[in-house]
Homo-oligomer: A and B are copies of this chain.
Amino acid sequence: MQQFTPISDLGEFGLIQRIGELLGKTRNPLLKGIGDDAAVYPIADSRVQVVTSDMLIENVHFDRMFHPLRYLGFKAISVNASDVCAMNALPQYATISLGVPHNMSVEMVEHLYQGVAQACALYGIDLIGGDTTASRQLVIAVTAIGEAEASQIAYRSGARPDDLVCVTGDVGAAYAGLRILLEEKKRFEAAKGEGHAPDLNAFDYVIQRSLSPTARLDMVRNWRENQIVPSAAIDISDGLASEINHLCGQSNVGALLQMAKVPIEILTREVAEQFGEDPETFALYGGDDYELLFTVTPEEAILLDETLFTVIGTITHPEEGLHLELQDGSTMPIASNGFRHF
């Protein structure tokens, strides 16, 4: 009998590590392979290409019942653009491979591509290829490619003690939006679709954050205008707690974050409280935010546009570990339990 180890035993990150071991040594010039937001390889002189692939699968990453196809197309491009931004590069090209179930019409595929086209226009991306095929679930596999100077690239591994830990926008909102949508779905199904007219206007912000997040090209442009390269950067797809663990792990440093400084919108707090949960849990473990988490020196931080980001803590020496200071002054270690698909 062959061994059967469930993938949930290893998790996505454990699996990626096993795969890396299988692949062995590289054959072409490569500055960064698997293990950052995107791969980086040199093309000519001091220029590099930045490449990332992310796939969205129906009933794993989205629910077609409440995810309008136009938003879904926008999101598929955004999550890939966000990975390119997390390297301090700007996306230029993308390919989409689409698996289309039989219950989707040409019109529905067009709605999806309207969102794709809208995101491409917003980010300055050209869609240059892909594949379209039948499938049982809707599958959207995107590859995004950007170009940059080699010296501009921000890896996850460059954070140094005394750097400031910064985050763009706010966190936890996408998860708050998802919770609202799941709750409405439950009510709709309980009412069997009859006599159910939800008014979700009050939740617009968090719902939009879940359904059609925007990649933070504005932060990348602001770094560039100020000729600042973050010492480390990562985008927040699996939740702040998970990403700060990745960043500190790869940089071999510790960090002390202040919970009071973590930017959480009032609406996100209200939604969490409505469900009887902590807004802090939403912010730390919610995921799907597509904000940028990055580190810069204090001198660099004051040069950047302060409306784009918040300083939430400081990088420390590795032996100090990774801690969160709570409102009452106590500290706790930051566990990395992000969102797990398996």
The answer to whether A5 has its CB under 8 Å from any CB of chain B is yes
Count identical subunits in the complex: 2
Is the contact region of chain A dominated by helix, strand, or loop, or is it mixed?
Answer: mixed
> Does B53 contact A95, Cβ atoms closer than 8 Å?
yes
Report which of B24, B49, B110, B130 forms a contact with A43, defined as CB distance below 8 A. B49
**Which residues 16-33 of A sit at the B interface, judged by CB distance below 8 A?**
16, 18-19, 22-24, 26-28, 30, 33
Q: Mark A118-148, 1 if CB is under 8 A from B, else 0.
A: 0011001111111111111101010101010
Report which of B33, B41, B109, B139 forms a contact with A7, defined as CB distance below 8 A. B109
Report which of B15, B126, B141 forms a contact with A139, defined as CB distance below 8 A. B141
> Does B106 contact A18, Cβ atoms closer than 8 Å?
yes
Residues of chain B within 8 A (CB-CB) of A128 are 30, 33-34, 39, 41, 51
> Does B53 contact A117, Cβ atoms closer than 8 Å?
no
Report which of B15, B39, B104 forms a contact with A129, defined as CB distance below 8 A. B39
Given A53-B130, A53-B143: A124 in contact with B28 (beta carbons within 8 A): yes
> Does B105 contact A5, Cβ atoms closer than 8 Å?
yes
Report which of B49, B131, B136, B342 forms a contact with A53, defined as CB distance below 8 A. B131
Residues of chain B within 8 A (CB-CB) of A97 are 53-55, 141
Identify which of A12, A43, A120, A129 gathers the most chain B CB atoms within 10 Å of its CB: A129
> Does B132 contact A12, Cβ atoms closer than 8 Å?
yes
The answer to whether A261 has its CB under 8 Å from any CB of chain B is no
In the complex, how many angstroms separate the beta carbon of A39 from the nearest chain B beta carbon?
Answer: 4
The answer to whether A328 has its CB under 8 Å from any CB of chain B is no
The answer to whether A3 has its CB under 8 Å from any CB of chain B is yes
Residues of chain B within 8 A (CB-CB) of A4 are 105, 107
Give CA–CA (A43, B41) in the complex, Å: 12
> Does A126 contact B26, Cβ atoms closer than 8 Å?
yes
Give CA–CA (A213, B51) in the complex, Å: 26
> Does A117 contact B5, Cβ atoms closer than 8 Å?
no
